[in-house]
Structure 1
Amino acid sequence: GPMLAHKAEDEGMAAAEVIAGKHGHVNYGVIPGVIYTHPEVANVGATEEQLKEAGR
């Protein structure tokens, strides 16, 4: 799943923006993800299936 430190950083920045009266937004599609296996596996962005469904 999403790497927690990266996710927390983006969510913290969004929270600070909301407190400052701005529109806080987190784009979860660009937060890197990881599966702890050997060898390690990582991902970021949309899957091939999601892109095909979107017509890209």
Structure 2
Amino acid sequence: MSDSERAMFQRDLYFLKDVKKKIYQPECQFRDVVDDQIEHLEWILKEQTPKD
């Protein structure tokens, strides 16, 4: 994964975490979708980060 791709995924992750903070009870189902996307992006970043 290139540095620009990693930066893009990181920006998306920060954005979704910020969105999650603004979701209230009525949008509970949407929150589950956001949680899934956050987990997916964290997994991608973890798997694609070079191990030292």
Q: Which TM-score tier does this pair reach, normalised by the shorter chain?
A: 0.3 to 0.5
**Which structure shows the higher strand fraction?**
1
TM-score normalised by structure 2 residue count = 0.43
- The higher radius of gyration belongs to 1
Q: Which has the higher contact order (CA 8 A, sep 6+)?
A: 2
TM-score normalised by structure 1 residue count = 0.41
